[in-house]
Every structure is written in structure tokens, then in C-alpha cells.
């Protein structure tokens, strides 16, 4: 029996698995979400809570509140001050305010406009020593005076626990309270609330374990030694033992413990010694990224803008056909090993060799968008864009003159003499423009002057593998060590527009608890490479039988050696280069179809399940849930599409096609017909958390 496959965006509506969970009586509940990043952008958690706000407000209305630290600038620019709609919340805030602690209330000006309660840490800092004593008496965790972040988290947690005590005293038995805490900075509030037996249901989410981040940052062989680490010793050596204790205590105090991916669940089980109750994947506000039905046109428009930059950057060496050039990119924090830039560069070197050996005219231009320390744009990059603009102006001026003379001749009923239509001055101008494009050096591999050029990991490895943008190289490298901006004089594009103009995003991360970058590519219809050590890669493996068919290439970095992973990544990229233009268009259509799978409207159900489970454990007499029943947080598993095999190794020759070649004999492709097959081939849903024992083989690997 053929397996089911993914649906187009329109056909997905109403066909994704229906939510069977008993609806919570939200009118009799209050939901609080606590994070250090509420109105305060620090990292990826800000994106999670900001994009999730809309669907949570739609479900909970005025019974949903976010809690975090107060920063004056953030409050003035992001929050509209107002009065709490619930009198009990006003009374709880007043209790803190009357004791000298400042509490601010308002609506966060993001989509959904959720209520926020922000606690001024500075106004309560005089209580720090007393609260440190309370923490020690409660759980024997001591905080050093020099760790300001840990001390601030304790002040915030103490204020939040105090607030919840006042609130529940005013509320009595109804409505019941659910509090959801994110990451270790919010942990003290959960620990103190539970130790004081405050009657509320608690959920704790770790987006990445604290010790896991530190170990991977030190290039440790992390996943092969998960069961071998002496956790206390490793945390102590890195001087984060007190933070680790806060995180672990919060995990074990919570009624429900969740994490964002299966791979982080494995990590948390070893690092924190508790298996997560629910996996709550990170979603996106797909409406923000979807371009309705114009994403293919947007790809062409934005790709043309990137090509203009390439024309300028490679002036004098532009001996490759831009119509047969593919644009790859990697983006994110500058964590050379964790983000997989090391394996990416090695694979690019091998891809360069393969493309040269096969003597084809496909060229790959690769962008590294990773912010590093620089002092300015380098002169050569700026000069390239100036030369390109000068050439454009010259060509435009000659074109205007040529067009006017041609127009006048045709009006007179004459065919102009092309030898006389341009005079000697015109040829002189054009020759000067051509001479201006002469270059005696290679195009630069970086667009900026690096502060520590010799020690920079990317530049050092570019030197090692020899990708210097020479004429013979079929892989060209551009390192842009700065976030993209539409106001840049060099590459004036926002990140979203840049992504839409690329052909492939490559994110072969070693440590990536979730990974928003490949998810953003997916909802914009851009194929991407990820790994089975990233949360996104694990999620796609669980939901899609053949991710590569939908433009999600998953490199096995968990069960293969670094050499094997590098070869696999090289093969993925080489196979992608073999696709014809038509095949890439079809694949982008398929990639975009998965966007609903990453929408909070679908993924929000995992949070609903976690809240219900927490209520059933905190108030078992009121909220029932069978602890032995399988999770109802279910998804579909989508198999390989029927039409036009997207894997080049199975469908085209061993050497790359030209990107403009179209085969008339290819299997016909009909978008509506394929979507109809989707509807006919849905198979039974599966439980997301059910991981087959001893799973080694990764989907799609046998084909590469």
C-alpha cells in the first residue's frame, strides 16, 4: 500500500490531524508564561514566545499573561501600559508595590497583544541576601556574589513566587493557575513556588541544557559520551555548578517537564536526569513568511538582486554564467563547530573537486552570514560594487543614444547602418569601462576587514582547503561577517529577502536544540540541509518519510563518523547541483507545502497537552487524564511524492544538467493532481514521542 505524503498549503487546511484533547475550561483558569526574554530579546527563546503569543491569546483571551524582567527602554518602546483586567492580579501587584518592589503591567505590542507583568529587579535588589538565604534553606543551592545573571534570576524568581502567593491567596480555589517557566533563568521562581506549596500547576521547558551548551562549545564529543560525563565535575570545572543546580532543581520540581525536540530530550535525560513528559517543537508564524502564491516569483526577484552583488564582487573574474549559478548559504551565530561551518567548508572543497572533474559549467556561490568582529567593509568589496554601477551607467547611456538614433532612422523608413550608429567617442567610453574591470588580484573571500584575520576559524579553514575564488574554482565563497540589512551599501537586502533569493540553505549543525534557520527556509519554499542532531531535523524525520523529496536533506551526524557525514553532505550538494531548473521549481513547491507543519496553529497542540497534563497532576480531583494513555499529540508521516523523482541520482545523468535545459520526456507534473493524491493517501497518524528502539538508519540515506 503506498504511503501518504505532504499536502499543498491549501489542501493541508482541515486535513492535519484533528485535535482530540478535551478542551480546557480556560474561563476557569489563568495561564502565566515566565521567561527572561519577555519583551527582552536575548536569543531564540524571544522568537518562540513572541511568535506563539497570537495563538495563545486566541485560545486564552484575557486569562493569559506573560511575566519577565522590567527594562525601562524595552517597556517604553514595546509595551502599552494599562490596568490589569483581573482584580486579583491588581491586588497581588499592589502587595509587592507597597513593600517597595516595582511591578509594571501592560500589553506587549506584538501580534496578539498579550498582557505582560514585568518586575523591576533593581528596585528589589536590597532583598538579595535574604532571598539567597531562603534559597539555601529551601534546596541548599548557594549563588556566588560575582554571578550577576544568577543573582538577577533569583531576584526575579523571588518576586514571581511572592506574586503567585499573593495571587492564589486572593483567588482561593477558583480559577486555578497554570505557570509555564522557560529556561534556567526562570527556574528560581518555580523552585520557590513549589517549596512554598503554592497551589498551581507548573510546566518547565528547557530549550537547551545549560551544561550541553558549555560542553559543545568546547568541541567535546558530546553525543557519544552522554552516558559517560561526570555531570557535577563538568559543571564545577566550568564554574556553572550553581546554575546547573538551579536548572536541575527546576526540572525536578515541575509537574510537567518539556523540551523542544527529541534530540534535546535525549540530552536532558542524561544531563538533568529526568525524561521529558512532552516534546513541544518550536513553530513559526507562517503568515509572516508565506508569500501566498507568489513565492516562486519572489525567489526570481530576490535572486536577481543577489546576482547584482555577485557581478560586482567578482568583477574581472566573471567568467561563469550567472544563469547556471546556484546560491548556497549558511547563517546564524558564529559558533564554528556547533553550527557545522567546519564540515560545510570541507564538503565545499570536495564539491569543488567534483564539479571540476565532471567539467560542467555549474557554479556555486556560497555565502557565510555569521556576525564576527570587524572594523569596516574592505575597500576591494566596495570598489567592486562601484565598478558594477559605473558599468551599468555606461551601458545605459550608450543604450539611450543607440535607441534614439535607431528610432529616428526607423521613423524615416531607413535601416540604420550599424557601423555608424555609434561614434568613436562611444567606443572609447565602452573600452574605458572594460579596462576598468581589469583585476590583478582574486575576488576577496570576505566583504569586511576582520579584526583578527589570522585566527578567524572560517578564514583559516578557507586557506586550508584553498577556496580562494580562482577562475578554476567552481565553488566561490563570500564571507559576510555581519547581519544583513536593507540599508547596507554593499548587499542591501533584509535576511528574509536574501533567503528567498537563494537556492539552498546549508545548516549541518552539531549542536542545535531546534534550529529556526532551516524552518524559515522551509516556509519560504527554499530547500535546506540540516542534521539529525538538530531538533528541526529530528522533527522532519518523524513527520516525513522521505524528507529529501521535499527539499529537507538530513545529514547523519549522530550515527556516522565525521568523514562519512562530510561525504554525505558533499553528495547532497552535488546531487542538488545535478537538478534541472524544472526539478528545482518542483522541489521548491514541495518544500513550501510543509510550511503548515511548522505553523503554531498546528504545533500549539503540544503546549495544550503539556498544560492539561500539568493540571491533572496538580489538581487530580478536578482534571482527569489517563497516565497510561498514549499521547494525543499526533502528526502524519508523509512519504515520497509520486511525480518527478526529486533525487537527481535516481532521475538524471551522472553529470549536472545545465540549469536552463528542460527535458520534454520528463514525467508530467500537475500541481492540482499531486495535491489530490495527497488527500487520497493519508495514512494513520503516529505518536510523535514514539521513537523506534535501536533506530540507526536515517530516512533518505540509502539513496545518497
> Taking Cα atoms as reference points, which of 526, 542, 599 lies closest to residue 283?
599
Which residues sit opposite 529 in a β-bridge? 506, 553
Contact 121, 155 (CB under 8 A): yes
Write the pLDDT tens digit of every residue in 85-94: 999 999 999 9
The reported pLDDT for the residue numbered 212 is: 93
Q: Grid coordinates standing for 81?
A: 501600559
| Model confidence at 294: pLDDT above 90 | no
Nearest alpha carbon to residue 149 among 243, 235, 232: 243
- What is the arithmetic mean of pLDDT over 233-262? 96
- pLDDT for residue 143 is more than 50: yes
**Cα dihedral 330→335→340→345 (10° resolution):** 70
Nearest to 282 by CA among 77, 513, 12, 68: 513
Task: Report how far apart the first and last C-alpha atoms of the chain are (Å, whole number).
Answer: 25
Name the more confident of 58 and 697: 58
For the stretch 32-91, pLDDT in tens is 999 999 999 888 899 999 999 999 999 999 999 999 999 999 999 999 999 999 999 999
Please write the tens of the pLDDT for every residue from 499-514: 999 999 999 999 999 9
- pLDDT of 594 higher than 80: yes
pLDDT of 8 higher than 80: no
Average pLDDT of the segment spanning 528-547: 93
Q: Which of 243-257, 377-391, 626-640, 645-659 has the highest mean pLDDT?
A: 243-257
Give the pLDDT score at 693. 42
Q: Give the pLDDT confidence of 371-380 residue by residue, as tens digits.
A: 999 999 999 9
Residue 64 has what DSSP assignment?
E
Confidence grade of residue 12 (pLDDT, cut at 50, 70, 90): very low
Q: Residue 404's pLDDT is what?
A: 85
401 pLDDT band, cuts 50/70/90, is confident
pLDDT digits (tens, 9 = 90+) for 342-357: 999 999 999 999 999 9
pLDDT value, residue 24: 79
Query: Does 579 have pLDDT greater than 90?
Result: yes
pTM for this structure? 0.84
Rounded to the nearest 5°, which phi and psi values hold at 106?
180, -170
Sheet with 176-182: strands ordered across: 79-81, 103-108, 115-119, 64-69, 29-34, 176-182, 201-206, 256-259, 278-279
Closest listed residue to residue 590, CA positions, set 526, 679, 516, 506: 526
State the burial class of residue 445 (Cβ atoms within 10 Å of its Cβ: 0-12, 13-18, 19+): middle
Q: Are 279 and 265 a contacting pair, CB within 8 Å?
A: yes
Q: How many CA atoms lie within 13 A of 22 on its CB side?
A: 10
Which architecture does CATH list for 26-280?
A: 3-Layer(aba) Sandwich (3.40)
Q: Look at residue 443 in the predicted model and tell me its pLDDT.
A: 95
What's the average model confidence in pLDDT over 647-662? Answer: 42
What region does 525 belong to: left with phi over 0, alpha with psi -120 to 50, or beta? left
Distances (CA, A) of 258 to 121, 205, 266: 27, 5, 12
What local confidence, expressed as pLDDT, does residue 639 receive?
63
pLDDT of residue 297: 85
Amino acid at each position: 500500500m503506498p504511503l501518504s505524503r505532504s499536502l499543498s498549503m491549501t489542501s493541508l487546511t482541515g486535513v492535519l490531524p484533528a485535535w482530540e484533547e478535551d478542551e480546557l475550561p480556560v474561563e476557569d483558569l489563568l495561564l502565566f508564561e515566565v521567561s527572561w526574554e519577555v519583551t527582552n530579546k536575548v536569543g531564540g527563546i524571544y522568537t518562540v514566545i513572541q511568535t506563539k503569543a497570537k495563538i495563545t491569546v486566541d485560545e486564552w483571551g484575557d486569562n493569559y499573561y506573560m511575566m519577565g524582567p522590567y527594562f525601562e527602554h524595552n517597556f517604553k518602546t514595546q509595551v502599552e501600559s494599562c490596568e490589569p483586567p483581573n482584580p486579583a492580579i491588581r491586588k497581588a501587584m499592589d502587595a509587592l508595590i507597597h513593600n517597595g518592589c516595582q511591578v509594571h503591567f501592560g500589553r506587549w505590542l506584538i501580534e496578539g497583544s498579550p498582557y505582560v507583568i514585568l518586575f523591576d529587579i533593581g528596585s528589589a535588589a536590597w532583598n538579595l541576601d535574604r532571598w539567597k538565604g531562603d534559597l539555601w534553606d529551601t534546596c541548599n543551592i548557594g549563588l556566588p556574589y560575582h554571578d550577576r545573571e544568577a543573582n538577577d534570576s533569583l531576584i526575579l524568581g523571588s518576586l514571581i513566587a511572592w506574586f503567585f502567593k499573593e495571587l492564589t491567596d486572593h483567588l482561593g480555589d477558583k480559577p486555578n493557575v497554570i505557570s509555564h517557566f522557560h529556561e534556567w533563568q526562570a527556574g528560581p521562581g518555580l523552585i520557590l513556588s513549589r517549596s512554598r506549596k503554592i497551589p498551581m500547576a507548573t510546566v518547565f521547558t528547557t530549550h537547551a541544557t545549560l551544561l550541553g551548551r558549555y560542553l559543545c562549545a568546547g568541541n567535546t564529543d558530546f553525543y557519544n559520551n552522554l552516558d559517560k560525563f561526570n555531570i557535577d565535575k563538568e559543571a564545577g570545572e566550568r564554574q556553572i555548578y550553581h546554575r546547573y543546580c538551579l536548572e536541575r532543581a527546576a526540572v525536578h520540581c515541575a509537574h510537567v517537564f518539556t523540551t523542544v525536540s527529541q534530540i534535546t530530550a535525549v540530552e536532558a535525560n542524561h544531563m538533568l536526569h529526568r525524561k521529558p513528559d512532552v516534546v513541544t517543537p518550536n513553530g513559526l508564524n507562517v503568515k509572516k513568511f508565506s508569500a501566498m502564491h507568489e513565492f516562486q516569483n519572489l525567489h526570481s526577484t530576490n535572486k536577481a538582486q543577489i546576482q547584482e552583488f555577485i557581478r560586482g564582487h567578482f568583477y574581472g573574474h566573471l567568467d561563469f554564467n550567472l544563469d547556471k549559478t546556484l546560491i548556497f548559504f549558511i547563517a546564524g551565530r558564529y559558533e564554528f563547530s556547533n553550527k557545522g561551518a567546519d564540515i560545510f567548508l570541507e564538503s565545499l572543497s570536495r564539491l569543488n573537486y567534483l564539479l571540476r572533474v565532471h567539467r560542467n559549467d555549474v557554479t556555486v556561490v556560497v555565502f557565510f552570514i555569521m556576525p564576527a568582529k570587524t572594523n569596516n567593509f574592505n575597500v576591494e568589496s566596495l570598489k567592486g560594487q562601484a565598478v558594477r554601477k559605473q558599468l551599468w551607467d555606461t551601458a545605459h547611456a550608450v543604450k539611450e543614444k543607440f535607441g534614439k538614433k535607431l528610432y529616428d532612422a526607423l521613423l524615416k523608413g531607413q535601416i540604420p547602418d550599424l557601423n555608424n550608429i555609434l561614434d568613436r567617442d562611444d567606443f572609447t567610453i565602452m573600452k574605458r569601462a572594460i579596462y576598468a574591470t581589469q583585476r590583478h588580484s582574486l575576488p576577496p573571500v570576505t566583504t569586511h576587514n576582520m579584526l583578527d584575520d589570522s585566527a578567524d576559524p572560517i578564514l583559516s579553514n578557507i586557506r586550508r582547503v584553498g577556496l580562494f575564488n580562482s577562475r578554476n574554482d567552481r565553488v566561490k565563497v563570500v564571507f559576510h561577517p555581519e547581519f544583513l540589512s536593507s540599508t547596507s551599501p554593499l548587499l542591501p537586502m533584509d535576511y528574509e529577502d536574501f533567503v528567498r533569493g537563494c537556492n539552498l540553505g546549508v545548516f549541518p549543525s552539531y549542536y542545535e536544540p531546534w534550529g529556526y534557520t532551516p524552518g524559515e527556509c522551509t516556509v519560504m519554499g527554499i530547500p535546506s540541509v540540516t542534521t539529525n542532531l538538530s531538533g528541526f531535523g529530528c522533527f522532519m524525520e518523524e513527520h516525513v518519510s522521505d524528507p529529501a523529496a521535499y527539499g529537507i536533506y538530513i545529514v547523519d551526524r549522530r550515527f556516522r563518523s565525521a568523514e562519512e557525514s562530510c561525504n554525505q553532505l558533499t553528495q547532497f550538494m552535488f546531487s542538488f547541483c545535478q537538478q534541472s531548473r524544472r526539478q528545482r521549481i518542483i522541489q521548491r513547491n514541495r518544500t513550501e507545502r510543509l510550511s503548515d507543519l511548522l505553523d503554531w496553529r498546528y504545533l500549539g497542540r503540544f503546549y495544550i497537552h503539556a498544560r492539561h497534563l500539568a493540571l491533572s497532576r496538580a489538581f487530580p480531583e478536578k482534571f482527569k487524564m489517563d497516565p497510561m494513555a498514549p499521547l494525543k499529540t499526533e502528526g502524519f508521516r508523509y512519504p515520497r511524492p509520486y511525480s518527478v523523482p526529486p533525487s537527481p541520482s535516481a532521475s538524471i545523468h551522472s553529470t549536472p544538467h545545465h540549469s536552463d535545459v528542460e527535458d520534454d520526456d520528463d514525467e508530467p507534473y500537475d500541481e492540482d493532481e499531486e495535491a489530490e493524491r495527497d488527500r487520497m493517501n493519508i495514512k494513520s497518524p503516529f505518536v510523535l514521542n514514539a521513537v523506534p528502539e535501536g533506530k540507526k538508519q536515517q530516512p533518505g540515506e540509502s539513496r545518497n
